[in-house]
Structure 1
Amino acid sequence: MEQAPETSIADAPPQRQQPPVKKGGVSAMLTKRNIAVLAAMVVIVVLGIYFRNGMLRFTGFFEPDGFFHYAVMRAAAAHAFAIPQYLSISGFPFHNAVTQALGDYYVTIYPYMLLHPFGVSYYTIMRLIAPFFGVLDIIGVFFLMRYFSKSNFLGLLGAFFIAISAGNIARTAALVYRGDGFISIFMLITIAFVLMSYRAEDAKRKWLYALAANLVLGFSMMIWSGAPYETMVYIFSIMMVTAYGFVTANRTMLKSSVVLTVALILEFAIQHIWMALGVLRNAEALSSPNFLIFYLPTLIGAVAAWYLVENRGKFSSLTLNATTRARVLFGVVVVAVILAVVLFGSYLGSIASGGGLIAASSGLQKSIKELAPPTFKFIWGSFTFQIFLAPLGAAMYLLFANRLGNLDYIKHRRFDININPVFLVFLSYLIVTGYLQANAIRYNSLFSLPVAVFSAYAVYSVSMLLYNRLKEEGYDKRVTSRRSIAFYAASGIIIAMVLTNLYYTYLTNLSSVPADDINPQFLQAMTWMKDNTPANATVLALWPDGSVVEGWANRTSAMDSVAGQNGTLIAGFARFLLNSSPDTQYLYAAHRPEYLVARGYWFSELSGIATEAGFLNATAVANLYGYNTFTGVHVTNPTNYTRAFELSSSQPPYYKGIVLTNSTNASDVVGAISSGNSNRFVPVAHVLFYNEQTDAYEIFNYTKPHAANFTIALYYTNSSITGAALFGAVLPFSNFFKLTTLCSYSSCSYGQGTNVSMKMIYMNSDTRIYRIYYNQTAP
């Protein structure tokens, strides 16, 4: 009977026998080795906390979503911590539903109930809860790898790589409040129980661990709406272990797969219990009959594989030997894939897209950056060399597994392929989250854990090989052999990779700032709004800013980044901003908001605003609404009557500009531009001078037919030029430009000739707040 041996993910070299220690006291645990491991873990945890708390120097939260959740928590705190069905300051006159999984709020509510008597606010807990889960990830990886490898060193390496992973820190840093930062510890616990079920020898324990795995899996469904990715890891793990168990005719392994697959019904039931209780307010992925698309093939496959191997005598033509079984498996997989594509292709193709299997639905997929596929620069920034170490770790495991202590085995290249459930489950974890990461940048936190696990194994393998080489040759022997030099070189490369990862994470920690330019000036403006506007005021703002209006100013926003992703309102507002006419009908359609928030930050979001407005032709958008900053300004006086402003840009397409003014004729102003290496300048249609001290401005027009339809803007204070930019044809005459630049306390050209007007009532270096008047002139 063929039976594949089960090996651990790693085994350290044989250790020196420790003297017996009496059981039952603290001294039993306080061996020198355990103290050293504990001290190393403390250092790693402290390092992880340090790298996750760099943004505590900022006020508020990392991104707009956090401010929305803060508004929900404030509403809950006012009503005995019952999460409201609708957030009364999200949307008007109809309010938007709070549809997040309630566990996303419970992670703050329950700690607050315990810590509130000690003066701890839910605001503080929300800012610090993500690093707490980051520490849980670090500790969870250590214990998981330590348990299944019996190696403290490997466990410490895994914990270290998670501690310094920028991908993991992206969702577990202070100020971040996202469900995907809270979920990974539940995945680790589920994996632990799955592997314990595979290792258990008696049926009772197999069932016990399988049910425990699904209790944890079911519980985690209420934490984050994207939690069903865990179910995919679970199912894919069973598929892979079942396939391997069938080829190797491992009946114990196949029986465990059947048990784990049957137990998955418990997770499905718990998910529906949460839905019935209102803890899950929306149907999650895999809570509908779509669950059966993945579940039934897994169940049928596991049962069939176990039955065929258990009754090999009856099905000898299918189970004769490993080669025959591999051929049968290959044929079944091909047929299953074809059927899945034909019957469920459109559904399967939506996985990892906005509104797909894992990601939350969004009406703003066109401009949400986190749903875009990652670039190599992003991957490098998230994982540095770990992204290269992870596949190396998988290869090292397959080649060496628990043979690292046997150099003779390695020297003579007697390699075989070492596979077991531990490896296959972690590999499934890597593949599923890697697929998600390949589709959208938002999943780097999920991907970071399996990457860290396999990276740790890569470093562990090289370290153990070097350790045994030194033991074999003697510590005081001069190293001269090419093989020894190669080992030292490999170790040096690994150390350099680790130090590089550490350095990049350190730089990230220093340079991290809140997203969407949530800065002190913006929050200062929101504080002013809270103190100087009616409590029931309604506000129009760009949708990410709307969440800050709700969370920090405690005022009602027409749209926001979570519940208020109203595609119609957002597209309409984008067109309103880019329109060169007042477009007052939009304000009426938006139910006559009373205040409007405009920010200079919007210039960096022009591309996204144009996309949401429906302008998808990139060339047209650049020509009409382009915005390029000149980074160099040089002022000369080529003649007694002429002043020249020479402009240059350090970014593609490397525009150069020149503006000539006549000191004897103030209206005699002309500007011209060129791009790239060209020295041929073309006149532009408009030149704008803007006084940043008084908000006064003047536009000079050049009416010759050959003038390019662009505007050169020069910003100045007193007699000094402070900045310059090149605008597309429409942007300087749009509502966008009027509201972000041209309007002042004394006057605002918006709405001239209509029955709607605006008055700026607050301004700082980041934000302008306007009062909107209907059927009357602004005072």
Structure 2
Amino acid sequence: MTVNEEKPGLLSRLGRVGLPLPRTLTLEFLIMTLVLSLAVMVRLLPLRWGFYLSEFDPYFHYRAAEYITKNGFFSLASWHDMMGWYPYGRDVAKVYLPGLAMTVVFLYYLLNFIGISISLFNLCVIFPVIMAAVACVMIYLLGRYIGGREVGILAAFFLALNASYISRTSLGFFDDETIGVLGIMIVYYFFLKAVEEERKPKSTALYALGAGLTLGYVSASWGAVRYPIDLIALYVLALLLLRRYSSKLLLASIVTYATAFSIAVHVPKLGLGFLTEASNIPVYIVISLLILAELRRRFNISRKAPMILLGGTILLAIVVLLASLHGLIKLPAGKFVSVVLPFGRSQNPLLESVAEHKPSAWGNFYIDLGISVFLISLGIYFTTRDLTNKNLFLLIYGLTSLYFSASMIRLMLVAAPAFCLLSAFGVVKLLKPFFTELRELRGLPARRRFRAIRTGREYHLTAIILMFLLLTVNYAFPEPRLYLSAYTPTTIAAASLPVKLTITVPDWILALSWMRENLPADAVVVSWWDYGYWITTLGNRTTVVDNATFNATQIKNVALMFMSNETEAIKILKKYNATHVVVFTTFYEDGRDLGWGDEGKWMWMARIAGLNESRFGEYVQGGWRWNDLGKNTTIYKLMNYARSRWLGMPSASPKFFQLVYMSPGTTFMIGNRRCIILVCVYKVNYPT
């Protein structure tokens, strides 16, 4: 080697050793990196309005996580929280699933251990974004396993930009779904791997154990765990009906469910009663059928099989019936039953008053999914044409997701992975013939290739380009739903308004700060249940009702208090030793209701209290008109007095309530009309 020659670099030497990455793998890695970057950047858009937790439930999750860091990893089991549902409080372990709080605390300790210093609150704010990126990787693995590399990449891309999923994993949305959706996909991936025909029993048991552990983790984190539990049972039943039974099905099912249920019964909120919940009965029925199928296979009793199956089914039906009659089988919570039977929801005003419990109109699907509505249909079509075990699972997953998301609009989130997988599957199967033709053209002799290219290449390329143009339009023009979901302020930064303003609306933030700094430490605050978690967590004051809504009687009493006259309201407030009442109102500058505050919720208060709202007024052109009875209600007086004060109009002050705080009253325009928002705190003055 001469003086001027340079030594070969490390990369050159590695290349000589023969460690080049395949081009397809490199391209796959680069595409997934872009998809993950896109998923993260889209979900960080709410940063424009500040670094806050969003919605309401995330604030209690943060409180629970904070309690764990101060009192120990398993301290939730003994926490009796007296700052909510006063004067009784709540046994947190019996009403709260601890999985999310424990997960974020574990991550918090891990990050600080490796030298990444971050506050618990900041970690909770960015946690949904992190989990969304991990979920995109997981759906890539699941899609790749079901339909190949292309399906995996497209499914990850679709999930990264799915409007429903963005709305629940954007910055600050620290809720159960962030780990629930991810956990469900891991369960499906492990279970499908476990029941592969060529897999050895030991490997089947290991994958089933992974599925069971993950399912147990989801059961400790998210109430919607009932869906994957029954979906797997339905998938196994379908395989049985199609005569695709194998011993691996029995082994995988027993290991998965035994592991998951062993974890679930140790979650205090679920307990042993979870085993006898009606939603788990299909599991026991399917496992019993699997055992019968295994007995038939081992002892070669094919002639007697129909009689054995019929007898076993009748016996199971009798056992289930007797158990139901003796109260051994219980129904899950009402909101879970209402998903399966949505028409029964109208019998429960409290359940129906929650906006995300409404059924989905078909228009919601198109607004949410765009062109993917048609791609999902294609995916369903192609899965039915080639009904392999994997395609059968995807078909069942998609159809059940479609039903439940139509039943309750919130479950568009649960359906998002299924819709993304079906869309990706449909696109790949639709374009596969065109790509195949292009490859075949490349392999023809020169003369034949020249003739074929002139007639066929343009056609195939045009079809492919048109498909990707449709996808581009879906995600870029004119203003897709995904950007509306992502580029939106967190709920508290928008002061709970359903409009996107260019500024942070500080009224709730300022009101909660005032409560924290000025109300006595032993103050008991009454508001409508929507704002309970905010007042407890950010205002650091005790509340009577909050977003957990597990005590319907207490919520009914608060509703009745607001809909009663002051004399009756004081009697109800005295039962709870309430010291302050908070109301939230929005209105036009002429004083008329805007409808986004308590003036839009009082009708639900009336219904929950067992009253008919028509007693308090009537609809006229231009909105609601209160009658004398309505104007004498406590909720009307508290809202109207604050409005009048802000507008500078004369108004009689309430008899037993003293206005001690009124937010600045942020103003904004809707069309050419000026609107105002107020958060008001009243002190309760009991008569001597």
TM-score interval (norm. to shorter) = 0.7 to 0.9
Matched to 2:470, the amino acid is: A
Larger deviation: 235-244 or 741-750? 741-750
- 1:741 partnered with 2:653: no
Match of 1:591 among 573, 576, 582: 576
Q: Using structure 1 for the length normalisation, give the TM-score.
A: 0.70
Cα deviation for residue 106 of structure 1 reads 0.9
Partner of 1:708: none
Give the secondary-structure state (helix, strand or coil) at the position aligned to 2:209: helix
Q: State the percentage of identical aligned residues.
A: 17
Q: Distance in 1 between matches of 2:317 and 2:44?
A: 46
**Higher strand residue share:** 1
Q: Does the C-alpha gap of structure 1 residues 458 and 270 become closer, same or farther in structure 2, counting only changes over 3 Å?
A: same
Superposed, 1:54-93 pairs within 5 Å as: 54-56=45-47, 57-80=49-72, 82-83=75-76, 85-93=79-87
Deviations 1:471-491 (A, max 9, x none): 445686688879985994586
Give the secondary-structure state (helix, strand or coil) at the position aligned to 1:267: helix
Give the secondary-structure state (helix, strand or coil) at the position aligned to 1:528: helix
Match of 2:551 among 547, 566, 586: 566
Match of 1:763 among 653, 663, 674: 663
Q: Does the C-alpha gap of structure 1 residues 183 and 292 become closer, same or farther in structure 2, counting only changes over 3 Å?
A: closer
- Structure 2, unaligned stretches of length 5 or more? 1-12, 443-448, 498-504, 587-593, 666-677
Partner of 2:445: none
Matched to 1:281, the amino acid is: K
Q: Distance in 2 between matches of 1:228 and 1:381?
A: 28
Q: Distance in 2 between matches of 1:291 and 1:213?
A: 19
Q: Distance in 2 between matches of 1:336 and 1:487?
A: 57
Q: Distance in 2 between matches of 1:209 and 1:622?
A: 59
Contact 2:176 2:221 in 1 (8 A): yes
**Higher helix residue share:** 2
Contact 2:139 2:185 in 1 (8 A): yes
Cα deviation for residue 299 of structure 1 reads 1.6
Contact 2:58 2:174 in 1 (8 A): yes
Q: Distance in 2 between matches of 1:284 and 1:750?
A: 54
Q: Does the C-alpha gap of structure 1 residues 487 and 623 become closer, same or farther in structure 2, counting only changes over 3 Å?
A: farther
Partner of 2:31: 40
The alignment's C-alpha RMSD in Å is 4.1
Q: Distance in 1 between matches of 2:568 and 2:547?
A: 24
Cα deviation for residue 560 of structure 1 reads 0.7
Contact 1:580 1:733 in 2 (8 A): yes
Q: Using structure 2 for the length normalisation, give the TM-score.
A: 0.79
- 1:287 partnered with 2:275: yes
Give the secondary-structure state (helix, strand or coil) at the position aligned to 1:354: helix
Matched to 1:30, the amino acid is: L
Give the secondary-structure state (helix, strand or coil) at the position aligned to 2:34: helix
Partner of 1:131: 129
Superposed, 1:403-422 pairs within 5 Å as: 418-422=386-390
Partner of 2:684: 772
Q: Distance in 1 between matches of 2:425 and 2:314?
A: 32
Q: Does the C-alpha gap of structure 1 residues 484 and 608 become closer, same or farther in structure 2, counting only changes over 3 Å?
A: farther
Matched to 1:583, the amino acid is: E
- Structure 1, unaligned stretches of length 5 or more? 1-21, 320-324, 400-417, 629-654, 657-724
- 1:609 partnered with 2:602: yes
Match of 2:335 among 349, 354, 370: 354
Superposed, 1:162-181 pairs within 5 Å as: 162-181=159-178
Superposed, 1:477-516 pairs within 5 Å as: 488=462, 492-493=466-467, 495-497=469-471, 499-501=473-475, 503-511=480-488, 513-514=490-491
Superposed, 1:292-691 pairs within 5 Å as: 293-308=281-296, 314-315=301-302, 353-354=334-335, 356=337, 364-399=350-385, 418-472=386-440, 488=462, 492-493=466-467, 495-497=469-471, 499-501=473-475, 503-511=480-488, 513-514=490-491, 517=496, 519-562=505-548, 565-601=550-586, 603-604=595-596, 605-606=598-599, 608-614=601-607, 621=613, 624-625=616-617, 655=621
Superposed, 1:101-250 pairs within 5 Å as: 101-116=97-112, 118-149=116-147, 151-199=148-196, 200-244=198-242, 246=243, 250=244
Q: Distance in 1 between matches of 2:651 and 2:69?
A: 41
Q: Distance in 1 between matches of 2:568 and 2:339?
A: 38
Cα deviation for residue 130 of structure 1 reads 1.2
Q: Does the C-alpha gap of structure 1 residues 397 and 282 become closer, same or farther in structure 2, counting only changes over 3 Å?
A: closer
Q: Does the C-alpha gap of structure 1 residues 212 and 759 become closer, same or farther in structure 2, counting only changes over 3 Å?
A: closer
Q: Does the C-alpha gap of structure 1 residues 74 and 623 become closer, same or farther in structure 2, counting only changes over 3 Å?
A: same
Cα deviation for residue 137 of structure 1 reads 1.1
Q: Does the C-alpha gap of structure 1 residues 508 and 541 become closer, same or farther in structure 2, counting only changes over 3 Å?
A: same
Matched to 1:126, the amino acid is: C
Partner of 2:625: 727
Contact 1:59 1:520 in 2 (8 A): no
Q: Distance in 2 between matches of 1:477 and 1:127?
A: 60
Q: Distance in 1 between matches of 2:561 and 2:600?
A: 15
Q: Does the C-alpha gap of structure 1 residues 209 and 726 become closer, same or farther in structure 2, counting only changes over 3 Å?
A: closer
Q: Distance in 1 between matches of 2:65 and 2:313?
A: 48
Q: Distance in 2 between matches of 1:764 and 1:334?
A: 68
Deviations 1:454-487 (A, max 9, x none): 1101111122122123344568668887998599
Q: Distance in 2 between matches of 1:388 and 1:339?
A: 44
Larger deviation: 506-515 or 31-40? 506-515
Point out the structure with max Rg over C-alpha.
1
Larger deviation: 389-398 or 103-112? 389-398
Contact 2:131 2:178 in 1 (8 A): yes
Q: Does the C-alpha gap of structure 1 residues 161 and 727 become closer, same or farther in structure 2, counting only changes over 3 Å?
A: same
Contact 2:521 2:541 in 1 (8 A): yes
Q: Distance in 1 between matches of 2:16 and 2:358?
A: 55
Contact 1:538 1:555 in 2 (8 A): yes
Contact 2:383 2:395 in 1 (8 A): no
Q: Distance in 1 between matches of 2:319 and 2:400?
A: 21
Give the secondary-structure state (helix, strand or coil) at the position aligned to 2:682: strand
Matched to 2:45, the amino acid is: G
Partner of 1:7: none
Q: Does the C-alpha gap of structure 1 residues 482 and 739 become closer, same or farther in structure 2, counting only changes over 3 Å?
A: farther
Contact 1:352 1:358 in 2 (8 A): no
Q: Distance in 2 between matches of 1:487 and 1:24?
A: 36
Give the secondary-structure state (helix, strand or coil) at the position aligned to 1:160: helix
Cα deviation for residue 559 of structure 1 reads 1.0
Q: Does the C-alpha gap of structure 1 residues 378 and 481 become closer, same or farther in structure 2, counting only changes over 3 Å?
A: same
Q: Distance in 2 between matches of 1:288 and 1:476?
A: 70
Give the total of aligned pairs: 618
Q: Does the C-alpha gap of structure 1 residues 310 and 219 become closer, same or farther in structure 2, counting only changes over 3 Å?
A: same
Partner of 1:695: none
Match of 1:255 among 233, 240, 247: 247
Matched to 1:94, the amino acid is: Y
Contact 2:151 2:425 in 1 (8 A): yes
Deviations 1:351-389 (A, max 9, x none): 795153989x99921312222211223333333332332
Give the secondary-structure state (helix, strand or coil) at the position aligned to 2:266: helix
- 1:274 partnered with 2:276: no
Give the secondary-structure state (helix, strand or coil) at the position aligned to 1:456: helix
Matched to 1:510, the amino acid is: Y
Contact 2:435 2:460 in 1 (8 A): no
